[in-house]
Amino acid sequence: MEVWLEWRRLRPRQWVLDALLFSAAIGFAVPLGHLLANCYRDYQTRPQGGDFRDHFVDQPNRLSVYGTADCPACQLARDQLTKAQVPFNDLRIDANRAARSAWERLGQKGYPVFLATNELQVGYRKERLDKLVERLSMQPLAAH
């Protein structure tokens, strides 16, 4: 109650300055929060190098996509790869136990997961998928 009475006793000029300062703080905090969230997402979904050849022993193509049938990002990725005429192994973790266990062995919790013989990416980002496809097209077929 005392705080409320103290606030009401402020001069109008002080009240306006406080309101402007508060608005400026909120105006700065919201974009900063979005920036930090995007930076964290980029960090979590950054491409990871490694030797993933053992995941391709029984697969005909050099790119595998782990995802689900009802995932919008998975469908966007499939559409992008199909439109670009890139052959890929479509591994549905919701319908195929072998695909799910391979996805779990990768240690991932999200999808879609894009897996090449030497790179793993989590999450759909059109630009990153384009770069992955470009790198795959430069690799000789013997790398599989």
For tokens 């990725």, the residue is 77
Please check whether residues 63 and 100 belong to one and the same domain: yes
Please check whether residues 30 and 66 belong to one and the same domain: no
pLDDT recorded at residue 7: 57
pLDDT recorded at residue 79: 93
User: Which residues span the domain enclosing 15?
Assistant: 2-44
Here the CATH number for the domain that contains residue 105 is 3.40.30.10
Please check whether residues 77 and 11 belong to one and the same domain: no
Read off the pLDDT of residues 38-60 as tens digits, 9 standing for 90 and up. 666 666 666 677 777 777 777 78
Please check whether residues 32 and 55 belong to one and the same domain: no
pLDDT recorded at residue 1: 54
Q: Which stretches of the chain score pLDDT less than 70?
A: 1-12, 38-47, 139-144
φ/ψ region of 121 (left if φ > 0, alpha if ψ in -120 to 50, else beta) reads beta
Residue 120, φ and ψ in degrees, nearest 5: -130, 135
Please tell me the total count of domains within the chain.
2
Residue ranges of the alpha helices (H) in 57-114?
A: 72-83, 97-105
pLDDT recorded at residue 66: 92
